[in-house]
């Protein structure tokens, strides 16, 4: 029975198929190592280390488990988005020009440093900016 497969195993076609599979496996391992090297560099990891580790398939699997979730470009974009949202939030709130503490838009004085922020309208009593000559709410000259 041991000689049953000998004609197949010793044939030129089987040797060619075996060599092609070996070549495919080597090319696959080198391609995985190269991809891992580039991906690790893009994500801010140690590229050369993970490239060498990926030469063994187990090292590549470990890299796929522990690799950083975002690329450096994604992280930079996320930080910019956070800064933009913080700036938008800061614009929504008014701050005292003297002490930079948050204030409401209808405060006449700052509750922290007591700086005069606005003046009351002589007719309706609403808060007006100091330079306004006319109340925009009741049209009264100040």
**CA pair distance 105, 96, nearest whole angstrom:** 10
CA atoms within 13 Å, Cβ hemisphere of 111: 6
Specify whether the CB–CB gap between 98 and 106 falls below 8 A.
no
Q: Could you tell me the residue ranges of all domains in the chain? A: 6-68, 105-142
Q: What is the pLDDT along the chain (142 residues), one digit of tens a residue?
A: 567 888 888 899 999 999 999 999 999 999 999 999 999 999 999 999 999 999 998 999 999 999 999 999 999 999 999 998 888 777 767 888 888 888 887 889 999 999 999 999 999 889 898 889 999 999 889 8
CA atoms within 13 Å, Cβ hemisphere of 115: 12
**CA pair distance 124, 91, nearest whole angstrom:** 28
CA–CA distances in Å: residue 94 to residues 8, 104, 129: 85, 6, 13
pTM for this model (two decimals):
0.53
Is residue 26 classed as helix, strand or coil in its secondary structure? helix
């Amino acid at each position: 029975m041991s000689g049953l497969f000998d004609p197949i195993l010793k044939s030129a076609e089987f040797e060619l198929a075996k060599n092609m599979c070996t070549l495919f496996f080597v090319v696959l391992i080198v391609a995985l190592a190269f991809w891992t090297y580039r991906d690790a560099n893009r994500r801010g990891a140690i590229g050369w280390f993970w490239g060498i580790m990926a030469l063994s398939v187990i090292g590549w699997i470990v890299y796929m488990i522990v690799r950083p979730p975002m690329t450096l470009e994604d992280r930079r974009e996320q930080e910019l988005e956070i800064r933009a949202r913080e700036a938008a939030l800061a614009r929504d709130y008014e701050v005292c020009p003297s002490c930079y503490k948050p204030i409401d838009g209808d405060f006449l004085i700052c509750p922290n440093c007591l700086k005069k922020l606005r003046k009351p309208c002589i007719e309706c009593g609403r808060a007006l900016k100091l330079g306004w000559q006319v109340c925009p709410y009741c049209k009264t000259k100040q």
